[in-house]
Chains A and B, each alone.
Chain A
Amino acid sequence: MLLDRTLRARIERLSFTARRRVRARWAGRHPSYRKGESLDFADYREYTPGDDYRRIDHALWARLGTPLVREFEAEEELPLDVVVDLTQSMTFGQKAHTARVLTGLVTYLALSGGDRVRLHALGGPDPAKWATGPGGRHLSAWPRLETWLETRPEGGTGLLEPPIRAFAAGPVRGSVVVVSDLLTDDWERALDGLAGTGGGVVLHVLSPAELSPDLAGDLELVDSETGRTVAVSMSEQAAETYRARVERFAVDAAARARRAGCDYVLVPAGPDAADATLAALAAAEVIA
């Protein structure tokens, strides 16, 4: 069970808020690019045959001599694509488990808000491919999505940019949630690509060992996904340099995410990840 009963009870009343207008197929509760049938007045336009005459503003017609009809905001669902990184690099520390929990958290939030969710997972022999899992719109879909999340295998490799480009190019302009350690060669392009989507959230999961490595001596570091090696001679100075590099990495990722209209949360992998993420999302008013 990814989310225990207590946590689910806490987040059932919360839902995602869309920072941009959404473009979806189904009505929902988020502002849309389209005009619709909500109670929120949007604008006037000239009457064209076929319009519902009940929307004609007769007072304006009398004053201006031109029939104008009232338009109202449309409200649509928030399509949410959640991309969880389950590549080999996520198997270190508790990153993969933390990523599954965070994905579950986001999914449950969306389902409880009546938003449409679709899950995607990175990890496999072909880095350009990703797995798309089941979707859902109601909490009734949660068990299915949870099972898929729990049973999704870890390992392999994967790139972030292909799925994000695909979301941006699609007919539906929803939000994207990325749960990843961003340790891919295309992480910069992927975050930049989020600008073409309806915004979203980047949950950057790093293990404590990555934040502050406990390494010493002369080492040959081997990349778990690519097999590339790097020779380092660890010292206090080297460790300090690495930590500065990680900080710069996080700052850079946050800046790119924000430029793309997304929120960014750095989540240290561990048992407190869900609470910390909830607090950060609430503070950023991503959920309400």
Chain B
Amino acid sequence: MSLLVPGALGLASLALPLIGLYMLRSRRRRVTVPSVLLWERLDIPVSSAVPWQKLKMTPLLALQLGVLALFVLALARPFVLVPSLLGPHTVVIVDTSGSMAMSNRFADAVEQARFITRDVSEANQVSIVEAGPIPRVAAAFVTSTEEVERALDGLAVGGGAADLDAAVRLARGLATPDRPTNLVILSDGGNEELAAEPLVGADHLGFVARGDNLSVEALSVEAVGGVQRLFLSVANHTPIERTATVEVVVDGAVFDRLQVPVEATSSTARRLPLDAPPGAVISARLVGPADALPLDDQAWTVVPEGADRKVEVVGEGSPFLAGLVDAVPGFARADGDGDVLVVDRGPLPDLDRPAWVIRTETPPPGITVRAIARNLAVTYQRPGEPILDAVDLSDVAVGEAQVVDAPDWLPLVRSGDVPLILLGDVDGRRVVYTTFDLVHSNLPVQVAFPILGANLLEWLAGADAGPVSSLPAGTPIALPTVADAVPVVTDPAGVDHRLTPDAALYAATSQPGIYRVRYVRDDGTVEPGPVAVRNFDPVESRAGFRTIATTDGTLTGADTTAKVREWAPWVIALSLGLMAAEWWVGHQRPWRRRTKEAAA
């Protein structure tokens, strides 16, 4: 046993005044008695007149010295070094990808995490990283098992693939110079090798449990030749041929139930004629006994809008704009009554539809032209803006642009203080205003132009007409910005998640299902937003196992894994027990009571 604060032992000198108090004679108490006749000349030893007396060890004194000794010992913080699985700082990476839902892999992983972190303390801190599609730190530098438990309880396996590379980078980022950091990866290995293998100072604890698994690996709606069909693919991940029973449900009603034989380790596709209205929710699920991976037994899709949305181009127009509209899927040019209006220069028409207005003679309401600026380059793209996803405007040069005042408009792209593209609304309709003429810039010849144009048209077309994004679980949902409205996401469980007004993404999509977005304004009006389908990642359904190469782990090494176990709490508890005994002895005086009873 060693002491963390040996200097505290000096407080043991307090025993001297304590003993001194016992050696001091107390002042005699005057007691009036009927007569001292019987007390006089009585052969009772009477204390002498000196103020001190011979020390007599009483049970009280012994107990008080014991309490003092224990308190001093507690202040000195005695400890022993015990072997521990934890180093000074251990980052536990828990894989929450879909494959971890196979059998009890995830439960085993969490159990392992609990076992590894059972000795967490101030000296052996733990961080926990959730390795899902978007890794996150679930707990950082925690020092108690309660915090670890809370973090582990907050983990849930999803339907997406784990980004182990990012998770490891995130874990490395938690390392601090003052604390050697170890990584423990609790994973079935992921689908691909990590960028940097072998991992240094890491341990990989693999989970290989697996069982029979059938999955619905694809579900979509096709419209070919004006005929709507449902495409369905069932995968068999077992080594024998299986026949899957698939139940197709359209808007809550069973549409069809079919038997799909699937050869071993392969998949079988089916196409079914379908007559479902746009926006109908279709799900396909395997019925029968549950397999080892229930999460991938169901898939969803939403029937998209059947016709292309019409875009009316007015103004001077340009071949770039015409080509853009033709190139964007889901949109087609129209001469009148388009869903979206594109105004290319010229006078500003009545904005009775969502509109992309390109440097008109008169800007839309709310925008005032102050001056003209020339020879501009893009210096600012609004970060996190979905409209600018995969749009790189850094090489765009603008010959001439309006310098405008638009306090209520959102500048999307700027050149210094000069806004180039603004988002806003006129009479409740979405409007994009471009302060420069496309032909006086090199934007139309940039790779980013069709992407930017498509994003702008989709944003203008709004959620009603927006496409249904069907992607693997865990893929974030891009949230178009709607002025003065708060996005609310309803997850597959029906729980609403109210986001901040400027939220650009919703990333908590690891659970397979349908996510619906709506925008709620202050006045209570609700505007529908995009619908996103997130299905179980088909690759995860294979539930393979891969060993992650690591260097020799240091977790189990005796050199760095000693844990300081302090005894102070136990010593304090013992001293409190002694204090209770001292109080009892001091106030109850059991031996006196027994003597009295015996005398009685």
Interface residues of A (CB under 8 A from B): 88-92, 95, 181, 183-185, 207, 210, 212-226, 228-238, 241-242, 245-246, 249
Contact = CB atoms under 8 A, between A and B. Distances in A.
A228 B42 contact: no
Contacts of A217: 26, 29
A231 B29 CA distance: 10
Interface in B9-47: 25-40, 42-47
Nearest to A206: B34
Contact of B32 (A207, A222, A232, A241): A222
Contact of B47 (A91, A215, A233, A241): A233
B28 A231 contact: yes
Contacts of B28: 218-220, 231
Given A232-B39, A233-B47, A241-B43, A219 B34 contact: no
Contacts of A95: 34
A201 to B, nearest CB: 22
Contacts of A233: 44-47
A99 B19 CA distance: 49
B595 interface: yes
Nearest to B45: A233
The residue in A225, A231, A234, A242 that gathers the most chain B C-beta atoms within 10 A of its C-beta is A231
Given A218-B26, A223-B34, A223-B37, 7 more contacts: A92-B33, A184-B35, A217-B29, A222-B30, A224-B33, A233-B46, A233-B47
16 contacts: A90-B34, A183-B34, A184-B37, A185-B37, A207-B34, A218-B26, A218-B28, A218-B47, A221-B39, A223-B34, A228-B36, A230-B40, A237-B44, A241-B43, A242-B38, A242-B42
B599 interface: yes
Contacts of A232: 39, 42, 44, 46
A91 B595 CA distance: 28
Contact of B37 (A90, A183, A214): A183
A224 B39 contact: no
B366 to A, nearest CB: 95
A216 to B, nearest CB: 8
Contacts of B46: 231-233
Contacts of B42: 230, 232, 238, 241-242, 245
A246 B33 contact: no
B416 to A, nearest CB: 93
A218 B25 contact: yes
B35 A224 contact: yes
A92 B34 contact: yes
Contacts, number: 104
A89 B29 contact: no
Q: Give the residue among B26, B32, B47, B592 with the most A Cβ atoms within 10 A.
A: B32
A61 B28 CA distance: 85
A227 to B, nearest CB: 9
Contacts of A222: 30-33, 36
A265 to B, nearest CB: 19
B32 to A, nearest CB: 5
Given A218-B28, A218-B29, A218-B47, A242 B37 contact: no
B417 to A, nearest CB: 92
A237 B33 CA distance: 20
By CB atoms of chain B within 10 A, which of A225, A231, A232 has the most? A232
B44 A221 contact: no
Nearest to A92: B34
B545 to A, nearest CB: 80
Contacts of A229: 30, 36
B26 A242 contact: no
A226 B33 CA distance: 11
- Of A88, A89, A221, A237, the most chain B CB neighbours within 10 A belong to A221
Given A231-B46, A233-B45, A233-B46, A249 B38 contact: yes
Contacts of A235: 44-45
B513 to A, nearest CB: 81
A93 to B, nearest CB: 8
Point out which of A91, A223, A246 has the most chain B C-beta atoms below 10 A from its C-beta: A223
Interface in B548-600: 592, 595-596, 599
Contacts of A220: 28-31
Contacts of B31: 215, 219-222
Nearest to B592: A216
Interface string B319-334: 0000000000000000
Contacts of B34: 88-92, 95, 181, 183, 207, 210, 223-225
Contacts of A218: 25-29, 47
Contacts of A210: 34, 38
B28 to A, nearest CB: 4
Contacts of A183: 34-35, 37-38
A238 B44 contact: yes
A235 B43 CA distance: 12
A221 B30 CA distance: 6
Nearest to A249: B38
A234 B46 CA distance: 8
A84 to B, nearest CB: 16
Contacts of B30: 219-220, 222, 229
A238 B47 CA distance: 12
